[in-house]
Amino acid sequence: MSSSPYTAMNAVFDAIARQAPVPAARLIKFSRRRFMQTTGIAGGGLMLGFVLKAKPAHATPGALQPNAFLRIDADGILLYAKNPEIGQGVKTSLPMIVAEELDAAWDDVAVEQAPIDAEAYGMQFAGGSTSIPMNWDTLRQAGAAARAMLVAAAAKQLDVPLAELATQDSFVVHAATGRRLAYTALAASAAAFPVPDATALKLKDRRHYRLLGTRVTGIDNGALVRGQPLFGIDQTVPGMKYAVYQKCPAVGGSVASANIDAVRKMPGVRDAFVLEGNGKFAELLPGVAIVADSTWAAIRAKQQLEVEWNLDDAAKDSWSDAEKKAEKLRKFPGEKRVVDDGDVDAAFADAAQSLDAFYAYRFVSHAQLEPQNCTAWWRDGAVELWAPTQTPGSGIRAVAGVLGIDPSKVTVHQARIGGGFGRRLYNDFMTEAAAISRRFGGPIKLQWTREDDMSHDLFRAGGFHQLRASLDEEGRISGWRDHFITFTHDGDRPVSGGDMSRGVFPAGLLANCRIEQTALDWKTPCGAWRAPGSNVFGFVVQSFIHELAAAAGRDHLDVLLEVLGEPRWTGKGDMRSLHTGRAADVIKLAAKKAGWGRSMPEGRGLGLAFYFSHAGHFAEVADVSVDANRKITVHNVTVAADVGPIINLSGAENQVEGSVVDGLSTMLGQSVTFEDGVVQQSNFDSYPILRMPHTPSIDVHFIDSDYHPTGLGEPALPPLAPAVCNAIYAATGERIRTLPISLEGYSV
Amino acid sequence: MLRLNVNGKVREISDAEASTPLLWVLRDELGLTGTKFGCGVSICGACTVLLDGTPIRSCSTVASAASGRNITTIEGLASEDGELTPVQQAWIDLDVAQCGYCQTGQIMGATALLKSNPDPSDEEIDTAMAGNICRCGTYLRIRKAIKQAAADMGESA
Ligand code: FES
Ligand code: FES
C-alpha cells in the first residue's frame, strides 16, 4: 500500500471534513480555479459569470437555456439538479432556488439529474453540507437571468415598458391590461435576447419568496413509491453480467493463490480472475473477481471461493492494542501541541478546583443501506459507469488513473444514492467495476454484499481524550487541556476526522486552552463520516463542560453561555465561523422550548448540548429516563438551529430528525473493532441500527435568520450524544465517558 | 422452469437455480428492481414483498417456495391506470423519504399492516415495523404516514 494513500480529491474532502475556518470561501476558490483550468478562461469575475455563459452540454434549439441549470421550451420548464442526491434532499432543494428566482410555479417544473460536466457545472459533489452554501448565489442568478430574458421578450411582444411587467407562477403578467404570457410560450423568443450579466441581476428580497421556506415533497417521491429504478443498484444495460469482488479482510493483503478453476466451473459463472490493483485503498485493492449470470450465482460462487492471502503488507490493526496504548499514553503530555492559547499551566496552578476525565469512543461504520455497487461498461478504449457516488468528478479521475486512460474516456451517469454519510466520497466501487468490466470484456454490475460493505469501509476513527480543566473561585472555567490520542496512516498527519489541530470548541473562546495530539499508527482506512470530527468531539467537549458545571454547582445553561461570551464572529470577518450570539440564541431557544429548569420525576432528566459545525449552530435538549437496569428511554429531543434561511422546510426538518436518530443509533450500540486488521462485525446483527420503537419524538425549531444559508446534512448530529449523556447524568448522577454507551451497560 | 405469480401476472423463469432467493429472481430475472437488497439475512426489511398478503423477506425466501402463491411487489401496488394506494399517497404527502432506499420495504410492511389492522395504535405500528431499518432515520414520518393512510382508508371505506 502506498504510504500516501490520499488522492488530491480525497485531500479536498478531508479539508471539508475538517471544517477549515473558511471552508466556503476555500471551496469556491477551489472550484473556480478548477473551472478556469478546464475551460481556459482567465481573469476575474464571479464564478457565476462564466458558469452562466457556458454552453450547456444538453443545449437544444428553440429552447431558452441561458445557463446549464434550466431549459424552457414550448413543452415545459426543466430544471437540472447538479449534485448527487444521497438523501440530503438537494435534488429538490437546489432546483427550488432556481424556481424561486425564475418565478416558476413548482408544479410546472420538472427536474432532471444534471449530467456530470465540469465545464457547465463546476464541481459536482455531495459532501461537507456545502451544496446549498456553494450554489446559493449561482442558482439564484441562474433563475433570475432566465426570468429577465422572459420579461424582455414579453415587453417586446406586448410593446410595453419592462417596468410594467411582473412575473408570477410561470407567467409574465402585465397588470395594467391583465394580459398574461406563459414562460413556455415566450421561451423561443426570449432565447434570442442576450444573457444578462449575472452581477447586474436584481435578486429577490427574501420577504418576497413564495417557494423557499415552504414544505415541498421530494422530487423523486412519486418514482420512489412506485419502485421505479433510480438507484445505482437498479441500473441495467443490455448484455450486462453480475460481478462480485473478494478482497483481503485485512487491508493490504494480496492474493497468494485461489481456487479460481473450481469457481469458474460453478453454475452460472462466466469468469473469475485476480486483479492486482494499485494498492490504494480508495482506488483498487487486490482481490478476486467473479462474473456470473445473476447476482445470486455470483454470491454463491463467492461463498465457495477459497483464497490464500499474502499478509506481509496487510493491516495488523487491533482495537484492544490501541486501547492499551492509549491507557499508557494518556498519563503523558501529547506528542504535539496543536493549540496553545494563554497560559494553561498558570491557570491550573491558580485553580480553585480542577477536574480530570478520560473519554473514549470506538470506530464506527457508515452502514448506508444500499450496499456499494456500480455498473460499468468497457468498450473501445473507453468506459461508461452508472454510479452511486458522492464525488463523480474524483470518481472519473480515479477510474482513469486505475485504467491508465485519459479522463475524457470515462463517462459517469449519476445514480440516486441509497445513503452516503461520507462513504461514497471514496470511489473504490467505481474503480473495481471499471477494472472488472475491462478484464471481462463486457458490461457488468458489481455488487458488494453487506458483509463486504462492513469490512471494507473507510471508517470513522475511534479516539481517546485525556482532559483536565480548572475552575476559578467563581466557578468559571479558567483553563482547559485536551490530550487527544488519535490515529495516523502515514506516521504524520492524523486520519480523516481525527484531527483537532484547527481548534475545536471551546478553543478560541477560553483564554487558556491547550490541545495536544498523539497519533497511533493505523493502517485500516479512515474517512469522512457525517459531521467528521465534530461527531465525536461534540460528545467529549459538551459532556465535559457539563461535568465542570456540575462540579461548580452551577446551571449548565449559564456556564455554556458564559463560555460563549459577547456576541461576535469567532473567525475574523468569516461569516461561516462560529458566531457566539447565534450560538447563545439557539441554546436559549432550545432550553425554553424544552422547559429547561423544570423539575423532573425520579430517574428522568434533561440534558443540554450545543455544537457548531458546517456553519450551522445547533442546540439540543434530550429528555431521558433511566431505569434500575440502565435501560434508557429517550422521550423527546428538542432541537434549535440557526442555519440561515430555510430552503425546503420539509427537507430541512427531515434532515434534523434523521440526524437525531443517527446520533442516537450510533451512540447506543455501534462499534467496529479490529483484530489482526480484520473487522469483527459483519452485518446489522452485530452492528445495530436504531429502529422505530426506540425513536424519540423530535421538535425542530429554526431561527429565521438573514445570514447566508448553509447545509443541513450534518450539523444537527454532533449535539445529540452529549445531550443524551448529560440527561442520563441529570437522571442518575452517572457520567458516561465512553461511546457507545452499551459498553457501560446501557441499553434501550 | 419456475412459474411465479407476480403482481397478478404469471411469469416464467427458465434458468434460475432452485436455491435462488426470490429477491434476486425479482430483480435480476424479472427486472423488478423496486425490491431492494440491504442485508441479505432477514435483518433490515429492505427486500420486503407480500406473499398472499403477508410481508416476507424476499432475500431469505427461496423463489420456488413462492410458486403457486400471489407475490406483490412495490411495482404492483398502484392500480393499472396508475392510481396510488393511500399508503403510497401518504408517503408522498408527508415527504417521508430521505435517501428512499428502505422505503420499498417500509411501504410493503405498512400496506400489510393496514390490511390486517385498519386502525393501528402507535405501539402496534412500532411492533409491526420494528423489522424495517431506516438508516436515514425517517421513522417518525413513516409512523405518521401510516396513520394518515389509515385515516384515508377509513374515510373511503
Ligand atoms: S435484504 Fe432482506 S431483510 Fe435485509
Ligand atoms: S430513507 Fe434512507 S434508509 Fe430509509
Query: Taking residues A80-85, what's their average pLDDT?
Result: 96
User: How high is the pLDDT of residue A108?
Assistant: 97
**Residue A583 pLDDT exceeds 90:** yes
Banded pLDDT at A49 (limits 50, 70, 90): very low
Whether residue B38 has its Cβ less than 6 Å from ligand 1? yes
B40: which chain A residues are within 8 Å (Cβ-Cβ)?
299, 449-450, 683
Residue with cell 473495481: A432
As given in the structure block, the three cell numbers for residue A336 are: 504535539
As given in the structure block, the three cell numbers for residue A91 are: 435534488
> Of A212, A240, A260, which marks where a domain is finished?
A212
- How many beta-carbon pairs under 8 angstroms link A with B? 195
Q: What letter represents residue B49's amino acid?
A: V
Whether residue B101 has its Cβ less than 6 Å from ligand 1? no
Banded pLDDT at A538 (limits 50, 70, 90): very high
ipTM: 0.98
B21: which chain A residues are within 8 Å (Cβ-Cβ)?
296
Per-residue pLDDT tens for A383-395? Answer: 999 999 999 999 9
A651: which chain B residues are within 8 Å (Cβ-Cβ)?
95
User: How high is the pLDDT of residue A15?
Assistant: 43
| Cα four-point dihedral sign A737, A741, A744, A746 | positive
As a whole number of angstroms, the distance between CA A681 and CA B39 comes to 13
A231: which chain B residues are within 8 Å (Cβ-Cβ)?
36, 100-101
Per-residue pLDDT tens for B80-97? Answer: 999 999 999 999 999 999
Percent of chain A with pLDDT over 90: 89
Residues A621 and A696 in one domain: yes
**Residue A622 pLDDT exceeds 70:** yes
CA distance A717 to chain B (A): 12
Whether cis (ω within 30° of 0) applies to the bond prior to A333 is no
**Residue A21 pLDDT exceeds 70:** no
Does the CB of B28 have a partner CB in chain A at under 8 Å?
Answer: yes
Banded pLDDT at B115 (limits 50, 70, 90): very high
Same CATH fold, B86-156 and B2-76? no
Banded pLDDT at A193 (limits 50, 70, 90): very high
Find out whether A103 and A133 touch, Cβ atoms under 8 Å: no
Residues A108 and A240 in one domain: no
**Residue A53 pLDDT exceeds 70:** no
Per-residue pLDDT tens for A646-685? Answer: 999 999 999 999 999 999 999 999 999 999 999 999 999 9
Q: Is residue A218 part of a domain?
A: no
User: How high is the pLDDT of residue A199?
Assistant: 85
Q: Is residue A727 part of a domain?
A: yes
**Is A371 in Cβ contact with B37 (below 8 Å)?**
yes
Q: Compute the half-sphere exposure of residue A383: CA atoms within 13 Å on the CB side of its CA.
A: 36
Q: Of A571, A509, A502, which Cα lies nearest the Cα of A534?
A: A502
Number of domains in chain A: 3
CA distance B103 to chain A (A): 7
Cβ neighbours of A245 (radius 10 Å): 26
Q: Is residue A3 part of a domain?
A: no
Query: What do you get for the CA distance between the two ends of chain A, in Å?
Result: 41
Residues A309 and A340 in one domain: no
CATH code for the domain in which residue A278 is found: 3.30.365.10
Residues A416 and A515 in one domain: no
User: How high is the pLDDT of residue A16?
Assistant: 43
Backbone phi, then psi, for A498, in 5-degree steps? -120, 45
**Is A233 in Cβ contact with B33 (below 8 Å)?**
yes
Query: Taking residues A372-377, what's their average pLDDT?
Result: 98
Would you give the DSSP letter of residue A672?
B
Backbone phi, then psi, for A39, in 5-degree steps? -100, -10
Banded pLDDT at A36 (limits 50, 70, 90): very low
Residues A376 and A354 in one domain: no
Burial A211-233 (b: 16+ CB within 10 A, else e): bbbeebbbbbbeebbbbebbbbb
Beta strand extents in A495-571 (DSSP E only): 513-521
User: How high is the pLDDT of residue A61?
Assistant: 78
The distance of Cα A673 from the centroid of its chain, to the nearest Å, equals: 23
Strand, helix or coil for residue A78: strand
CA distance A686 to chain B (A): 11
Of the candidates B15, B31, B130, the beta carbon closest to that of A691 is on B130
As a whole number of angstroms, the distance between CA A397 and CA A37 comes to 15
As given in the structure block, the three cell numbers for residue A132 are: 446549498
Q: Compute the half-sphere exposure of residue A610: CA atoms within 13 Å on the CB side of its CA.
A: 31
As given in the structure block, the three cell numbers for residue A562 are: 458564559
As a whole number of angstroms, the distance between CA A450 and CA A461 comes to 20
Would you give the DSSP letter of residue A507?
T
As a whole number of angstroms, the distance between CA A66 and CA B11 comes to 49
**Is A370 in Cβ contact with B137 (below 8 Å)?**
no
Per-residue pLDDT tens for A294-342? Answer: 999 999 999 999 999 999 999 999 999 999 999 999 999 999 999 999 9
Residues A181 and A307 in one domain: no
As a whole number of angstroms, the distance between CA B157 and CA A98 comes to 42
Whether residue B40 has its Cβ less than 6 Å from ligand 1? yes
User: How high is the pLDDT of residue B16?
Assistant: 75
Whether residue B56 has its Cβ less than 6 Å from ligand 1? no
Domain ranges across chain B? 2-76, 86-156
Of the candidates A229, A267, A369, the beta carbon closest to that of B17 is on A267
Strand, helix or coil for residue A618: strand
To test the contact with chain A by mutation, choose from B39, B81, B122 the residue with the greatest count of A C-beta atoms within 10 A, namely B39
| Chain B residue nearest residue A696, CA to CA | B140
**Is A691 in Cβ contact with B20 (below 8 Å)?**
no
Looking at the domain that runs over B86-156, which CATH code has it been given?
Answer: 1.10.150.120
CA angle at A501 for the pair A391 and A564, rounded to the nearest 5°: 100
User: How high is the pLDDT of residue A32?
Assistant: 30
Q: Is residue A555 part of a domain?
A: yes
Backbone phi, then psi, for A617, in 5-degree steps? -100, 120
State the helix-helix crossing angle for A556-564 and A534-552, rounded to 10 degrees.
120
Ligand 2 atom at shortest distance from the alpha carbon of B99: 2
Find out whether A64 and A73 touch, Cβ atoms under 8 Å: yes
As a whole number of angstroms, the distance between CA B34 and CA B55 comes to 15
Banded pLDDT at A54 (limits 50, 70, 90): very low
Ligand 2 atom at shortest distance from the alpha carbon of A419: 2
Find out whether A312 and A1 touch, Cβ atoms under 8 Å: no
Per-residue pLDDT tens for A65-82? Answer: 999 999 999 999 999 999
**Residue A2 pLDDT exceeds 80:** no
Find out whether A77 and A170 touch, Cβ atoms under 8 Å: yes
Find out whether A624 and A604 touch, Cβ atoms under 8 Å: yes
Cβ neighbours of A437 (radius 10 Å): 29
Banded pLDDT at A282 (limits 50, 70, 90): confident
Residues A417 and A493 in one domain: no
Of the candidates A299, A417, A693, the beta carbon closest to that of B130 is on A693
As a whole number of angstroms, the distance between CA A265 and CA A249 comes to 25
10 Å CB burial of residue A706 (0-12, 13-18, 19+) is exposed
User: How high is the pLDDT of residue A44?
Assistant: 25
As a whole number of angstroms, the distance between CA A405 and CA A399 comes to 8
User: How high is the pLDDT of residue A24?
Assistant: 29
Q: Is residue A551 part of a domain?
A: yes
Residues A182 and A239 in one domain: no
> Of A397, A423, A447, which marks where a domain is finished?
A447
**Is B143 in Cβ contact with A692 (below 8 Å)?**
yes
* pTM metric for this prediction: 0.94
Residue with cell 441549470: A69
Helix then strand then coil, % of chain B, to nearest 5: 40, 15, 45
- Ligand 2, residues at Cβ distance < 6 Å: A 87, 369, 419; B 97-103, 134-136, 138
**Residue A516 pLDDT exceeds 90:** yes
Q: Of A307, A227, A296, which Cα lies nearest the Cα of A273?
A: A307
Rounded to the nearest integer, the mean pLDDT of chain A is 92
What totals of helices (H) and strands (E) does chain B contain, helices first? 5, 5
**Is B137 in Cβ contact with A661 (below 8 Å)?**
yes
Does the CB of B14 have a partner CB in chain A at under 8 Å?
Answer: no
Residue with cell 464525488: A391
Query: What do you get for the CA distance between the two ends of chain B, in Å?
Result: 41
Residue with cell 476558490: A29
Instruction: Print the domain residue range for A487.
Output: 330-364+459-744
Mutate to test the pocket of ligand 2, among A92, A369, A661 (most ligand atoms within 8 A of CB): A369
Per-residue pLDDT tens for A446-476? Answer: 999 999 999 999 999 999 999 999 999 999 9
As given in the structure block, the three cell numbers for residue A620 are: 439540543
Query: Taking residues A222-229, what's their average pLDDT?
Result: 98
Q: Of B109, B122, B126, B120, which Cα lies nearest the Cα of B153?
A: B120
Q: Is residue A569 part of a domain?
A: yes
Identify the helix (H) or strand (E) that includes residue A408.
none
As a whole number of angstroms, the distance between CA A264 and CA A257 comes to 15
**Is B130 in Cβ contact with A658 (below 8 Å)?**
no
Say how many Å lie between the CA of residue B138 and the centre of ligand 2: 7
User: How high is the pLDDT of residue A666?
Assistant: 98
Whether cis (ω within 30° of 0) applies to the bond prior to A740 is yes
As a whole number of angstroms, the distance between CA A93 and CA A130 comes to 12
Identify the helix (H) or strand (E) that includes residue A574.
none
Question: Is beta strand A697-702 parallel, antiparallel or unpaired with respect to A678-679?
Answer: unpaired
Residues A92 and A199 in one domain: yes
**Is B103 in Cβ contact with A300 (below 8 Å)?**
no
Q: What letter represents residue A346's amino acid?
A: A
Is pLDDT larger for residue B39 or for residue A62? B39
**Is A369 in Cβ contact with B99 (below 8 Å)?**
yes
B17: which chain A residues are within 8 Å (Cβ-Cβ)?
267-268, 296-297, 300
**Is B136 in Cβ contact with A658 (below 8 Å)?**
yes
Question: Which residues on neighbouring strands pair with residue A255, listed in sequence order?
Answer: A309
**What are the distances in angstroms from CA A739 to CA A362, A505, A745, B140?**
6, 19, 11, 25
Residues A273 and A188 in one domain: no
> Of A212, A242, A273, which marks where a domain is finished?
A212
Alpha-carbon Rg for chain B in angstroms: 15
Banded pLDDT at B1 (limits 50, 70, 90): confident
**Residue A616 pLDDT exceeds 80:** yes
As a whole number of angstroms, the distance between CA A523 and CA A250 comes to 9
User: How high is the pLDDT of residue A56?
Assistant: 55
B20: which chain A residues are within 8 Å (Cβ-Cβ)?
294, 296
Q: Is residue A603 part of a domain?
A: yes
Structural class in CATH, domain B2-76:
alpha beta
